[in-house]
Amino acid sequence: MGPTRSGLARHAARYGVRSSEPEQSSNREWRRVLGVDPASSGPTGYGIIESDGRVCRALRYGAFQVGAKRRHNSGAVLREVHQLLCGLIEEFEPQAMAVESVFTALNMRTALRLAEMRGVVLLAAEQHGVKVRSYSPREVKACVAGYGHADKRQMQLMVRAQLGMKELPEPSDAADALAVALCYLQADETERRFGLQRENEAARAKTRSRNQAKGSGDATLVRGARIQPNR
């Protein structure tokens, strides 16, 4: 059984996140995040939000809808999604991109299509030097709605409450993208508050160094600067 509306409202009040103009006297840093909800065949949702740690507001959101005649031309669809995301990054200059991760229970064909779309999303971020964080659907729901099995309607209500929106964000794909962005901001605020960010970065650097050391021992430099693993 899912949470009641009053329970959702209490969860929204708990985080105290709503949309409003920043105070003129505030010296807090405003952070922008681009949330993306990749889709294999349906609309790919996107949403730009910004926060100073106290208030949060949506700047733009929507969903890229693929026409019925163009669904068979996967290359053109991927190109247009890439162009859309690049345009958003160049216009709003977000500090980070939050992406919903691939759902593991998908069938092979759908998973491959979704992986292609996700690859285009990550490419746009890499080309513009934007860091990326991925979150599972259940993780996003638990973070934003306080319930890992929240439905589409509940997520839209929570996104509207936390961003102080007058209307429900439509379509639901756009609401999902805004939710992913909210998930990033809450996780980032927790890391900043408790000093976890430096520890996580140090752990990732240590892992990279270990992997590089292992890779150098397992590979041999051959003619043409190509790397060929030892057998």
Which one of the listed residues 21, 23, 37, 50 is annotated catalytic? 37
**Strand stretches in the chain, DSSP E:** 31-37, 44-51, 56-64, 96-100, 131-135, 219-222, 226-229
Which one of the listed residues 80, 139, 173, 189 is annotated catalytic? 173
What's phi and psi for 23, nearest 5 deg?
-65, 145
- Taking a C-beta distance cutoff of 8 angstroms, is the pair 33, 84 a contact? no
Does 37 participate in catalysis according to the annotation? Answer: yes
Does 52 participate in catalysis according to the annotation? Answer: no
Distance, CA of 183 to CA of 135 (rounded, Å): 8
| The two structure tokens encoding residue 48 | 């730009």
Does 218 participate in catalysis according to the annotation? Answer: no
Which one of the listed residues 50, 100, 176, 188 is annotated catalytic? 100
- Taking a C-beta distance cutoff of 8 angstroms, is the pair 50, 95 a contact? no
3-class secondary structure, 89: helix
Catalytic residue positions?
37, 100, 173
